[in-house]
Amino acid sequence: MEDVAERAKVSRALVSLVMNNSPQVSEEKRESVLRAAEELGYRPNLAARQLAKRRTQTIGVLVDDLRNPFFGEVVDGIEAEAANHGFTALILNGHRDARRELDAVETFLQFRVEGMALVGPRVGDDDLARLGGTTPCVVVASGSAHPGVDTVTTDGRWGAELAVEHLASLGHTRIAHMDGGSNVSAEERRAGYRSAMQAAGIGDFIDIRAAGDDEADALDVIDELLSAADPPTAIFAFNDLLAAGALNRLDDAGVAVPEDVSLVGFDNTFIAALRHLSLTTVNQPTLAMGRLAVETLLTRLSDGTDEPMRHTLEPQLVVRSTTGPPPMQSSGTASGSAEHI
């Protein structure tokens, strides 16, 4: 910067003004500075700028799992909105592990990010509240109900209800739920499943199995479910990945979907839309969630409210081909008719 100033025959301060394109610089000087910078390949040092400005214009984005396309979509939304406001999004990966998430948050804090978006975090509510005290922090995930933290969520309870209602209306009674394990969103979806089962008058059949959020997590659970005394005719899975894993295993076992068993996922990732899976699922408006997360953060930054802000978006059932009426009562297992929607 020193050099640029010298070369352009101006003071360092003026260079700074040009670099921040302040309006009160004469066209003449501006150009000469820009030229000098160009010639010397000068690039402002972000660390120094941040230090001097006492601002970083950066938000931290903690992603649970980069392999799940759902998160990729949310992050896309966050990045787009952040860029709109001149913010840079710093992406860190939680690797589906609470301890590593905490490390990542620690890194964010050292970076002095102005806000953090935790996308599908696994850290406990207590840690969350503690963090939120220091730096604005928004939890993005369906069905998080964290006290004292801002949240952007798709109504997971409602989403689960949509799924169960759909299955119930097709005539299913034995509907099982493969739940999300330690995933934050798991609880709300579980609750939705429960309430919808009750509402449909089939509360007696409530069957919740601890699974997870990855295809591999589905395998054992499907085996359990199939070998149960009274196997379900429909399964509501925590997310699309889990549902995909279920589909794999059901196929292995020679169980036809949806003829023998109906299956519903969650997230409406592009995987669900693949024709060969054609998974009935519950849509989350990922892009909107991302954008809203950033907006929330910015509001929090300027605003001084204590009230936690909660944005809840509407889920939407997307019916595809993995759901249909249950097999005839008589025929206990495979073979079922093909008359689905």
Partner DNA sequence: ATAGACCATTAGAGCGCTCCAATTCAAAGT
Partner DNA sequence: ACTTTGAATTGGAGCGCTCTAATGGTCTAT
> Rule CB under 8 A: which residues touch its own copies?
41, 43-48, 50-51, 56, 65-69, 71-73, 75-76, 79, 88, 90-93, 95, 106-107, 109-112, 134, 215, 244, 247-248, 251-252, 270-271, 274-277
Beta strands in the chain (DSSP E): 58-63, 88-93, 115-119, 137-140, 150-154, 175-179, 207-210, 234-237, 262-264, 281-283, 310-313, 316-318
CB of 86 to DNA, least distance (A): 13
Among residues 6, 7, 29, 125, which is the contact residue for DNA, using CB under 7 A?
29
Nearest CA-CA partner of 138 in 155, 156, 118: 118
CB of 57 to DNA, least distance (A): 11
Among residues 10, 74, 82, 105, which is the contact residue for DNA, using CB under 7 A?
10
Contact 155, 128 (CB under 8 A): no
Which of its own copies, DNA, none does residue 270 bind (CB under 5 to 8 Å by kind)? its own copies
Among residues 54, 276, 330, 332, which is the contact residue for DNA, using CB under 7 A?
54
CB of 7 to DNA, least distance (A): 13
What type of residue is 228?
A
Alpha carbons 152 and 138: distance in angstroms, whole number: 7
CB of 320 to its own copies, least distance (A): 12
Alpha carbons 222 and 245: distance in angstroms, whole number: 9
List Cβ neighbours of 191 (8 Å cut-off, separation of 6 or more): 157, 160
Alpha carbons 266 and 190: distance in angstroms, whole number: 12
Alpha carbons 55 and 204: distance in angstroms, whole number: 56
Task: Single out the segment in contact with DNA by CB under 7 A; choices: 21-29, 63-71, 222-230, 322-330.
Answer: 21-29
110/329 with CB nearer DNA: 110
Alpha carbons 172 and 323: distance in angstroms, whole number: 10
108/236 with CB nearer its own copies: 108
Among residues 16, 107, 173, 182, which is the contact residue for DNA, using CB under 7 A?
16
Contact 36, 11 (CB under 8 A): no
Among residues 17, 186, 244, 271, which is the contact residue for DNA, using CB under 7 A?
17
Among residues 21, 28, 306, 330, which is the contact residue for DNA, using CB under 7 A?
28
CA distances from 295 to 82, 147, 156 (A): 8, 20, 21
Which residue matches tokens 């595809």? 320
Which of its own copies, DNA, none does residue 107 bind (CB under 5 to 8 Å by kind)? its own copies
Q: How many residues bind DNA (CB under 7 A)?
A: 27
x/- track of binding to DNA for residues 33-52 (CB under 7 A) = ---------xxxx--xx-xx
**Contact between 25 and DNA (CB under 7 A)?**
yes
The sign of the CA dihedral 33, 38, 40, 44 is positive
Kindly list the residues in this chain that would bind DNA in the complex (CB under 7 A): 1-2, 10-17, 19-20, 24-26, 28-29, 42-45, 48-49, 51-54
